[in-house]
């Protein structure tokens, strides 16, 4: 996926729970909290404690609660994540 397509899709899904796969094979699941032309910020699902994300904290950087950033150029796919109740 090229960065322009990733940006447009991230804007479309802003505020929604998504599943993002990146070029290093990682899958990120959480809510998109911010998007700019270089990165998308995703707040990991608390119920999974960041499982599979390589990031174990919450609250974002600088206390703004954005989550962590993923470079748009590394995104291979974005899909709405199914809602699973445990």
Structural domains of the chain, with CATH:
1-46+62-78 (2.30.30.100)
Per-residue model confidence (pLDDT) at position 82 = 83
Q: Is the pLDDT of residue 73 over 50?
A: yes
Q: State pLDDT tens for residues 34-54.
A: 999 999 999 997 654 444 444
Residue 25's CB: how many other CB atoms inside 10 A?
A: 7
State pTM to two decimals: 0.74
């Amino acid at each position: 996926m090229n960065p322009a397509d990733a940006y447009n899709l991230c804007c479309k899904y802003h505020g929604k729970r998504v599943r993002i796969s990146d070029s290093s094979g990682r899958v990120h699941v959480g809510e998109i909290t911010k998007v700019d032309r270089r990165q998308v910020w995703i707040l990991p699902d608390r119920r999974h404690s960041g499982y599979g994300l390589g990031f174990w904290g919450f609250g974002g950087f600088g206390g703004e609660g954005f989550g962590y950033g993923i470079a748009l150029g590394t995104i291979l796919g974005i899909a709405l994540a199914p809602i699973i109740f445990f």
